[in-house]
Amino acid sequence: MSETTIAIVGSGPIGSAYARVLLESLPDARVVMFEAGPQITERPGESVRNIADPDEKARARERSQGPQSGAFRDALGIPATAVVEGMFTARQGTHLFDFGGEGSAHASSFPAAAGATNVGGQGSHWTCAIPRPAFSEKLDFIDDDEWEDLVSTAEDLLHKQSAAFSDSPVGAAIRTLLDREFGAELPEGYGVSTLPVAGDPQPDGTMRWAGADTVLGPLIEPGTGTAARFELRDLHLVRRIAHDGTHVRGLVVEDLRTREESFVEADAVVVAADAFRSPQLLWASGIRPAPLGRYLTEHHVVISTVALDGERMSALVSDDELEAELARRATNPADPVAAVNRIPFSEPGHPYSAQIMYAENPPFPLDASHPAFENRWGYVNMGFGVRKFPRVEDGVTFSDDELDYRGLPNFTIDYSLDADEEREIAEATERLRRAGDALGTFIAEPRLLPFGSSLHFMGTMRAGTDAETSVADPYSRVWGFDNLVVGGNALIPTANTMNPTLTSVAIAVRGARHLAQELGARG
């Protein structure tokens, strides 16, 4: 090989952040990115929420659902009925790991665990909320100045908007009502506010939501210098990392169109294939440090839906303002979220992350006889994120005897709560009740979603300073290897209540800068 080649496994926001930073830092390098799923949008990695045509959007989501999509689902004999209460594919565009057919993972204690298999990964289906971690959620091995630089770079890569929908009068009224209820209990700077999101506001007031395409940026603009050095191969499943125990030589890759296997030589490998499938690939490749798959966390989610109270809302929003807001939203009926508010995590008083989404319609059909049917003021969907403390007992284990539907070592997830975690869930439910009472009338009672529903899986390849309790060093290199780097939410070692992608992109920026330095020094 004359030039430096970096192979990346997974095309979600994290693999894309690596590709972008590496190619912009190393003028002679090339990046080859392998993605097991298909390209589902014309622009690689774009959010499916930007697709206006409902049929096209549904098709893109279906094609992302790996073993739970169309013909593949039928071939595996998976029933086309609910697997977990109220859910078939967990969320549209994703597929359950424990899907119940041949080669399904075993996750009865974490039943809603799911992934997406498509160019852009889950980043083609995400809600785009990108809050910063705070207090004990932050990583203690990165100092504040460097963190500020990393997280701002990550916000730029994701096109952060802190002001999305902030001009919505209904959104502002919701904040006022919540502030009256909670404001006095919250520390300065951590009060009721708008939720930062990733995307670009359009002149008509709608959003173009960010996906991996946003992170890749110039790499997918034909004619740019970096685009010439970037190659994305969809429907290519990475089966094994070839290595000698300390140094990686390349990847064994199967082209899923032809079923042919080939070896791709690489100077460095980045694995960003989600919090279950990345450790699975390491395990399949004989890279099995003791903490691999351990310390699994998510944030538990307590949700409910409330019909906004007309009397309280009309005291804060005029009829004209409401009509103007409804007219604006009518321009984009395919994307019904209209304002996104939050109460962020703070310690010690509010160790929860609350998201309050205003929408014109409830997320489920209401009977015409329901008092809140066609509520003129609309509805809010509320979710309180509750933390899970990392424990070595919670995690994923891999089998040497049983293969999954892709022919990789099958996995089993074991997960349980302790008394402190149960208590925080109960307290969050109580606060959700207060928030709902402050805003209107419950049309869906608060309930805890099945474990795994957050889709924010962390800890299974945690980064840290101690090889006994972490898989990766502070620069995301797998301990003991000089050119194997891992990325994704799996690296987050703390107990988090917030949406983790921004943090994972920031960690990836650090890992990519360090890898670029090392590869540059090696010439």
Q: Is residue 34 a contact point for ligand FAD (CB under 6 A)?
A: yes
Contact 283, 446 (CB under 8 A): no
Nearer to ligand FAD, 346 or 499 (CB): 499
Contacting residue, 67, 121, 191, 395, with ligand FAD by CB under 6 A: 121
Nearer to ligand FAD, 5 or 501 (CB): 501
Nearer to ligand FAD, 366 or 490 (CB): 490
- Give me the residue label for tokens 């990550």: 154
d(CA 522, CA 218): 26
Contacting residue, 21, 158, 269, 281, with ligand FAD by CB under 6 A: 281
Nearer to ligand FAD, 257 or 370 (CB): 257
Q: Is residue 9 a contact point for ligand FAD (CB under 6 A)?
A: yes
Written in H, E and C, the secondary structure of 61-119 is: HHHCCHHHCHHHHHHCCCCCCCCECCECCCCCCCEECCCCCCCCCECCCCCCCEECCCC
**Judged by CB under 6 A, how many residues of this single chain contact ligand FAD?**
41
Q: Is residue 126 a contact point for ligand FAD (CB under 6 A)?
A: yes
Kindly tell me the sign of the dihedral angle through the C-alpha atoms of 75, 79, 85, 91.
positive
Contact range with ligand FAD by CB under 6 A, out of 13-21, 70-78, 105-113, 325-333: 13-21
User: Rounded to the nearest whole angstrom, what is the least distance from the CB of residue 123 to ligand FAD in the complex?
Assistant: 4
Q: Name the residue type at position 148.
A: E
Q: Is residue 161 a contact point for ligand FAD (CB under 6 A)?
A: no
User: Rounded to the nearest whole angstrom, what is the least distance from the CB of residue 418 to ligand FAD in the complex?
Assistant: 25
Considering only residues 35 to 74 of the shown chain, the ones binding ligand FAD according to CB under 6 A are 35-37
Torsion of CA 436, 437, 443, 446, to 10 degrees: 50
Nearer to ligand FAD, 96 or 173 (CB): 96
Please enumerate in sequence order all residues whose Cβ is within 8 A of that of 342, keeping only pairs 6 or more positions apart, or say none.
Answer: 129, 131, 192, 193, 194, 195, 353, 354, 355, 356
Please list the active-site residues.
456
Contact range with ligand FAD by CB under 6 A, out of 30-38, 54-62, 174-182, 346-354: 30-38
Upstream peptide bond of 27 is cis (omega within 30 degrees of 0)? no
Contact range with ligand FAD by CB under 6 A, out of 118-126, 336-344, 359-367, 438-446: 118-126
d(CA 13, CA 188): 32
User: Rounded to the nearest whole angstrom, what is the least distance from the CB of residue 237 to ligand FAD in the complex?
Assistant: 5
Nearer to ligand FAD, 15 or 293 (CB): 15
Contact range with ligand FAD by CB under 6 A, out of 54-62, 134-142, 171-179, 272-280: 272-280
Nearer to ligand FAD, 277 or 294 (CB): 277
Ordered DSSP codes for 478-510: BTT-SSEEE-SGGG--S---S--HHHHHHHHHH
Report the b/e string of 174-211 with b at 16+ CB within 10 A: bbbbbbebbeeebeeebbbbbbbbbbeeeeebbbbbbb
Considering only residues 449 to 488 of the shown chain, the ones binding ligand FAD according to CB under 6 A are 455-456, 488
Contacting residue, 94, 285, 305, 429, with ligand FAD by CB under 6 A: 94
User: Rounded to the nearest whole angstrom, what is the least distance from the CB of residue 210 to ligand FAD in the complex?
Assistant: 10
Contact 480, 143 (CB under 8 A): no
User: Rounded to the nearest whole angstrom, what is the least distance from the CB of residue 479 to ligand FAD in the complex?
Assistant: 20
Here the tokens at position 144 are: 């504040």
Q: Where are the alpha helices (DSSP H) in 397-462?
A: 419-439
- Give me the residue label for tokens 């192979």: 7
Contact range with ligand FAD by CB under 6 A, out of 270-278, 330-338, 361-369, 372-380: 270-278
Q: Is residue 499 a contact point for ligand FAD (CB under 6 A)?
A: yes
Nearer to ligand FAD, 161 or 375 (CB): 161
- Give me the residue label for tokens 């002149």: 203
Phi, psi torsion values for 479, nearest 5 degrees: -50, 135
d(CA 5, CA 29): 6
Q: Is residue 277 a contact point for ligand FAD (CB under 6 A)?
A: yes
d(CA 373, CA 392): 47
Contacting residue, 50, 104, 127, 226, with ligand FAD by CB under 6 A: 127
Contact range with ligand FAD by CB under 6 A, out of 186-194, 256-264, 339-347, 493-501: 493-501
End-to-end CA separation in angstroms for the chain: 12
Nearer to ligand FAD, 307 or 396 (CB): 396
Contacting residue, 6, 7, 12, 294, with ligand FAD by CB under 6 A: 12
| Cα–Cα nearest to 21, from 201, 215, 182 | 215
Q: Which residues bind ligand FAD (CB under 6 A)?
A: 9-15, 34-37, 91, 94, 115-118, 121-123, 125-130, 237-238, 272-274, 277, 281, 455-456, 488-489, 499-501, 504
